[in-house]
Chain A
């Protein structure tokens, strides 16, 4: 243990603790901006400077190891003046657009400016002007708002391992960006949006689709249906004052009706259909002897990651579409027929914790109904914004039920929102089909995890090796081992984002911590509500969902059958890393 003095207070900390941590232990909050412990510690923003007695200059508290006998001052006039000056410098190279900025009131720079009472901005001075990159369907980059914290660089390099961002150029013009400071569309970006969730400002944000949706809702000729991803129901609650992870499915449905959607459906229905198809595909692979492992394909960022970084493995991806696309295809065929509507008349909106879904819906393959199957996607953040605009407070709304025929889901479908959930949902079905017995114990604890995990399952005559990779970085490590022949699996689930969809790139941005692990924990807490919903369901297996069974009976025929293949399956493309595809954005 180490003893030191901070602002005349004695404190004892573990060896290796930083001065920042020691101060926080005393209840003294030293400000940070670039720092995200465990992920990004460049000590570059300098707002955490403190004065250590005997040292000639200020030190960055975030990375300065506490030493025995150290005497630290964190709030002397000179320290406070330095922090203020640093913030003034930041603001002198930042657009003053706070009133119209998406991150207003949730911006870490704005919060610091307020906290330090910056009143007189730096007079004059050149400001960097960069081009906005809004060419990608998912992520908008506005480098003028970049504070050079490099968190996006770190999350993309370490966690996602797509390595899109770097610090480019030098001097005053140095800025974070993709190669050539070009567009994300020219990079191997997988549009997961994790960079958005760690950006302290609005330098990175999603491409806003809400205007498109408002327009569709106002159009009397349009029949607007909405599907809500599993994770949404336990994620929006925190934006309305509920504890993190509170499931608010009923209020959410009520809110969507009040927004004006003609039908409020559940994407978990699509997830259940997805399980039916994926389990069928798995059974076929077992019969044919492969190729294994079969990878899940419901995360479009993961699919794109595989297509770009492991093109030799695309045949291992399940060719079943994601629940969003399955839903879209069925809404414009199955539902259209039932409701007597022309597919072109139906406008399908999805509400997802994701920005990659905006990309997915534009993939040229996604036109099984003859027109684009899903018309627009709203991220959780856009959805919350729309509720605010409409004056809808979830706390004041009643609980309502989804519409049929695509509104009922099994517990398995709901699990899609958490890491390990897709695999678990699929195994519930696969197990029963293989062993002929209903699965008694439903939870596969060993695969429901935050880290890359594996499990061995005995199902009938089969011994199944399955794994879950949490994030594409973990997937990369797993794939490399598979390719080297060190690992061998039957079924692998990959989700690009930490914690799965609950930690998605379209989710509420949590800025209350400067610790990456705490941030991930916060996201994972949102999954608790999903597990709770699963447990509360009478029907917890996709193949027992009556609405799904009816769908097959009335319309699709058998899982993996001809119509199912046409509508619900897709193919994958071996892509080049730097080919640069252009997907015309609809917005």
Chain B
């Protein structure tokens, strides 16, 4: 038991760089959380507790911030995380159909991960590529004029990576 506990602690050793950078500084909680999410993909309860101790910030404050901002994730995402843009232009140009398609073909709804852990889906506020609507964002890359077929191609490509 002790060993697993030790390994578990080790799991967050990378946070040390964040802690070193931000501990004791005011107004940096969001940045610290962003960097932690970048490292670990999502902000688990254990990670947040660890940050609360190490940054000396109340856990309540951390959770309050995490639960407020849409881009903080408290659940793991798939290896390929897709964000379907829900901006006005995308909405008018078929964003709902893309979501319907993903649900029908992949049983994937916003906020969910596929059973094999490959894909996850969320909607995102306007990414500002309205002219290419509807658009899908994977990582930092934005893909424009997406149809069901194009989406399938993308998923095949990313699914195999």
Contacts and interface: CB of A to CB of B under 8 A. Distances in A.
Interface in B44-92: 45, 48-49, 52-53, 58-64, 67-68
Nearest to A180: B63
A578 B52 contact: yes
Interface in A159-201: 163-170, 178-180, 187
Given A577-B53, A578-B49, A578-B52, A164 B60 contact: yes
B68 A179 contact: no
A178 B60 contact: yes
Would you call the interface of chain B mostly helix, strand, loop, or mixed?
helix
Given A180-B45, A577-B52, A168 B58 contact: no
A169 B59 contact: no
Nearest to B70: A170
A196 B59 CA distance: 21
Contacts of A167: 64
Nearest to A578: B49
B60 A187 contact: yes
B60 A165 contact: yes
B30 to A, nearest CB: 15
Given A180-B45, A578-B49, A578-B52, A168 B59 contact: no
A187 B59 contact: yes
Given A179-B59, A578-B59, A168 B49 contact: no
A321 B38 CA distance: 49
A187 B64 CA distance: 14
Given A163-B58, A163-B60, A169 B45 contact: no
B53 A179 contact: no
Interface centre among B60, B63, B67 (most CB of A within 10 A): B60
Contacts of B48: 179
A170 B70 CA distance: 9
Contacts of A179: 48, 59-60, 62-64
Interface centre among B48, B63, B64 (most CB of A within 10 A): B64
A178 B61 CA distance: 9
Contacts of A169: 67-68
A36 B61 CA distance: 21
B50 to A, nearest CB: 10
B60 A170 contact: no
A133 B60 CA distance: 16
B159 to A, nearest CB: 33
Interface string B90-122: 000000000000000000000000000000000
A169 B49 CA distance: 18
Contacts of B64: 166-168, 179
B74 to A, nearest CB: 8
A570 to B, nearest CB: 27
Contacts of B45: 180
Interface string A140-165: 00000000000000000000000111
Contacts of A165: 60
A178 B67 CA distance: 12
Contacts of B68: 168-170
A170 B68 CA distance: 5
A434 B48 CA distance: 51
B54 to A, nearest CB: 12
A168 B52 contact: no
Contacts of A166: 58, 60-61, 63-64
Nearest to A170: B68
Contacts of A163: 58, 60-61
A578 B54 CA distance: 13
Contacts of B49: 578
Interface string A567-581: 000000000011000
Contacts of A577: 52-53, 59
B61 A168 contact: no
A288 B154 CA distance: 76
A178 B64 CA distance: 9
Contacts of B62: 179
A163 B62 CA distance: 11
B66 to A, nearest CB: 9
A292 to B, nearest CB: 26
Nearest to A168: B67
A390 B53 CA distance: 49
Contacts of B52: 577-578
A486 to B, nearest CB: 19
Interface in A511-537: none
Nearest to B74: A180
A520 B58 CA distance: 26
B34 to A, nearest CB: 18
B151 to A, nearest CB: 29
A553 B53 CA distance: 50
B101 to A, nearest CB: 27
A577 B49 CA distance: 9
A164 B63 CA distance: 11
A180 B47 CA distance: 13
A179 B48 CA distance: 10
Contacts of B58: 163, 166
B59 A170 contact: no
Contacts of A170: 67-68
A578 to B, nearest CB: 5
A166 B48 CA distance: 15
A178 B58 CA distance: 10
Contacts of B67: 168-170
Interface centre among A163, A166, A170 (most CB of B within 10 A): A166
B64 to A, nearest CB: 4
Interface in B13-66: 45, 48-49, 52-53, 58-64
A209 B24 CA distance: 43
A168 B63 contact: yes
A178 B48 CA distance: 14
A441 to B, nearest CB: 44
Interface string A535-576: 000000000000000000000000000000000000000000
A578 B60 CA distance: 11
Contacts of A164: 60
Contacts of B53: 577-578
8 contacts: A166-B61, A167-B64, A168-B68, A170-B67, A179-B60, A179-B64, A180-B63, A578-B59
Q: Which 9 A/B pairs are nearest by Cβ-Cβ distance? A: A166-B64, A163-B58, A179-B63, A179-B59, A166-B60, A169-B67, A168-B67, A179-B60, A578-B49
Given A163-B58, A179-B63, 4 more contacts: A165-B60, A166-B63, A168-B64, A577-B52
